[in-house]
């Protein structure tokens, strides 16, 4: 299960990788074409309708909006190509075709069942005796995808197609056909079998999805009723899952599917927390962003911008005097990364392995941050991280009236103080061997140090059990993610942390994650070149 979730999380990152640039375009374009903002600052001459900048910025907003409007298709293609071990291009193309076929078949089956846009409207269900709430829930089951009448399965439909097509690609990419049909052998068989599978899925979904949709809606309502408590546990467990890199397989379900809530924006129903935020961002009539939509990510701003940089400063303060210069460079770089981009692993992995209790405290404080900002109705959006860049675009530039961003700044200093004194006190009390404290076994390696070593890639391959032991080699921002045939052949932790200078190693099933920071992507590419 660990191996499968690791691969699924890695595949999720492929479509998610396009969201930062799409979010930036939508954020900048929407902010600087907002009529109220233009009038308030007297910029009609520069940014008003008809000006050159207006055309450029409105086009940027349209580009970002179209990406978020087609996430189901993007997820189908991205996940299929990400999970396919061979013929990734064929998997992506097959997924695109299969996604369209699935929704076409769904539409046909719905018409056979007598479900049309007219017979699935709120007014129709009210005329059949339902109250307004029940009618709205029932009508929300149905909608459009790529212009086709279908059910509102959204990104989940893309995920299903992506996983199924990847499975079929891995199984049939080398399929041999009889000589008369040999043209359809191998990779050419993949789109054929994928379309057939998508047709079957499309034929079944209209009978199953209405019940699943209503069930998810009920669960989302229940989760919503838990209020700050539910949001606390979400933030807490997401941070714990980050240790194993498994959060990538969970949070997209809240960001992009109905698990993250549903809301009508500009006349259309939008599912998923991040989708809701960006739909509101693109709607010029939005007066205030919904904290219900942003509750699954806004809470991260406090620990990422203020908490962890303060924790880094605490670790610097308690380091031995002789090591402070070296420690300072390492921790400053990690703190700046967290503050600017919201990427926290460079800091977290400096104390996770030597003082896991500190990580538990960090997860607890992050859960509290999620709950508090939700209670204060703060609604600042995010692309993929929660650093000052996203805060500026989706908080400051949108205005406090829309986002209530001021609370992040107000609570930032108390958050930093709490992290600083909690970390400093616990490190000293329990003598945790954080970077630069006494024990020479605690080593410091910056990216520069590791690259300067000119690491022998063959040593890394040998530590993974040799070429014949490798099934799949990939990487995220900080981790080398490898699937092996026999995990017992993988070198022990001492070897990885010693001559191979890894910051940590995780093993589960046939999945291995080696923490290398920024070097992970380089190692992945080097291994795949020679394996």
What is the CA 385 to chain-centroid distance, rounded?
A: 9
Alpha-carbon distances of 126 from 135, 139, 257, 408, rounded to whole Å: 6, 10, 26, 43
Taking the CA atoms of 141, 261, 239 and 521 in sequence, report the sign of the dihedral they define.
Answer: positive
Quickly count: other Cβ atoms within 10 Å of residue 438's Cβ.
11
Contact partners, residue 186, CB within 8 Å, separation at least 6: 173, 174, 175, 176
Please give the positions annotated as active site: 476
| Nearest alpha-carbon partner for 504 in 526, 524, 520 | 520
Question: Rounded to the nearest 10 degrees, how much is the dihedral formed by the CA atoms of 421, 425, 431, 437?
Answer: 30
| CB distance 181 to 192 below 8 Å | no
| Nearest alpha-carbon partner for 252 in 529, 1, 13, 525 | 13
| Nearest alpha-carbon partner for 307 in 233, 227, 386 | 386
Quickly count: other Cβ atoms within 10 Å of residue 88's Cβ.
17
| Nearest alpha-carbon partner for 335 in 319, 314, 355, 362 | 314
| Alpha helices, DSSP H, located in 32-179 | 35-40, 44-47, 52-69, 71-83, 88-112, 122-127, 132-139, 154-172
Residue indicated by tokens 């026999």: 486
Taking the CA atoms of 205, 206, 207 and 209 in sequence, report the sign of the dihedral they define.
Answer: positive
**3-class DSSP state of 299:** helix
SS (H, E, C) 338-389: HHHHCCCHHHHHHHCCCCHHHHHHHHHHHHHHHHHHHHCCCCCCCCCCCCHH
Residue indicated by tokens 């997209």: 252
Residue 306 in tokens: 């203020």
Per DSSP, what are the bridge partners of residue 479? 515
- The Cβ-side half-sphere exposure at 191, using a 13 Å CA radius, reads 13
**3-class DSSP state of 438:** coil
Our CA angle for 333, 411, 276, nearest 5°, is 90
How far is Cα 194 from Cα 33, in angstroms, rounded to an integer?
43
């Amino acid at each position: 299960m660990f191996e499968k979730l690791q691969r699924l999380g890695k595949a999720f990152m492929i479509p998610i990788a396009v969201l930062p640039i799409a979010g930036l375009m939508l954020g900048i374009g929407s902010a600087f074409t907002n009529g109220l903002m233009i009038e308030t600052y007297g910029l009609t001459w520069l940014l008003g309708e008809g000006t050159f900048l207006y055309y450029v910025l409105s086009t940027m907003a349209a580009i970002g909006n179209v990406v978020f409007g087609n996430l189901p298709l993007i997820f189908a293609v991205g996940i299929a190509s990400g999970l396919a071990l061979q013929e990734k291009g064929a998997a992506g193309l097959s997924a695109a075709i299969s996604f369209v076929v699935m929704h076409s078949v769904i539409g046909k089956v719905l018409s056979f069942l007598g479900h049309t846009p007219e017979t699935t409207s709120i007014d129709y269900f009210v005329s059949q005796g339902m109250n307004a709430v029940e009618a709205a829930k029932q009508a929300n089951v149905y909608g459009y995808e790529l212009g086709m009448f279908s059910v509102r399965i959204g990104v989940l439909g893309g995920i299903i197609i992506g996983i199924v097509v990847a499975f079929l690609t891995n199984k049939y990419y080398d399929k041999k056909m009889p000589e008369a049909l040999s043209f359809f052998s191998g990779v050419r068989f993949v789109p054929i079998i994928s379309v057939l599978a998508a047709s079957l899925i499309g034929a079944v979904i209209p009978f199953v999805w209405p019940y699943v949709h209503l069930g998810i809606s009920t669960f989302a309502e229940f989760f919503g009723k838990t209020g700050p408590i539910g949001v606390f546990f979400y933030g807490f467990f997401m941070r714990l899952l980050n240790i194993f890199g498994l959060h990538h397989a969970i949070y997209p379900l809240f960001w992009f599917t109905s698990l993250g809530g549903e809301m009508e924006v500009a006349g259309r129903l939008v599912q998923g927390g991040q989708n809701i935020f960006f739909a509101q961002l693109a709607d010029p009539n939005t007066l205030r962003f919904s904290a219900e939509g942003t509750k699954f990510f806004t809470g991260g701003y406090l620990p990422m911008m203020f908490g962890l940089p303060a924790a880094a400063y605490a670790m610097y303060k308690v380091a031995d005097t002789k090591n402070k210069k070296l420690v300072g460079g390492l921790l400053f770089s990690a703190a700046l990364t967290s503050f600017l981009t919201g990427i926290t692993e460079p800091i977290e992995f400096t104390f996770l392995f030597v003082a896991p209790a500190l990580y538990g405290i960090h997860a607890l404080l992050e859960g509290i941050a999620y709950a508090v900002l939700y209670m204060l109705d703060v609604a600042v959006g995010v692309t993929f991280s929660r650093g000052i860049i996203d805060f500026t675009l989706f908080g400051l530039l949108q205005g406090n009236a829309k986002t209530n961003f001021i609370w992040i700044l107000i609570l930032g200093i108390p958050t930093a103080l709490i992290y600083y004194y909690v970390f400093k006190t616990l490190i000293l009390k329990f003598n945790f061997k954080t970077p630069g404290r006494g024990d020479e076994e605690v080593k410091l390696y910056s990216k520069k140090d590791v690259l300067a070593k000119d690491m022998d890639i063959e040593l890394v391959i040998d530590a993974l059990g040799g070429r014949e032991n490798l099934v799949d080699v990939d990487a995220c921002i900080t981790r080398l993610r490898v699937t092996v045939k026999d995990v017992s052949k993988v070198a022990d932790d001492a070897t990885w942390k010693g001559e191979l200078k890894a910051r940590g190693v995780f093993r589960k099933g046939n999945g291995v994650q080696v923490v290398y920071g920024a070097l992970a992507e380089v190692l992945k590419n080097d291994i795949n070149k020679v394996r």
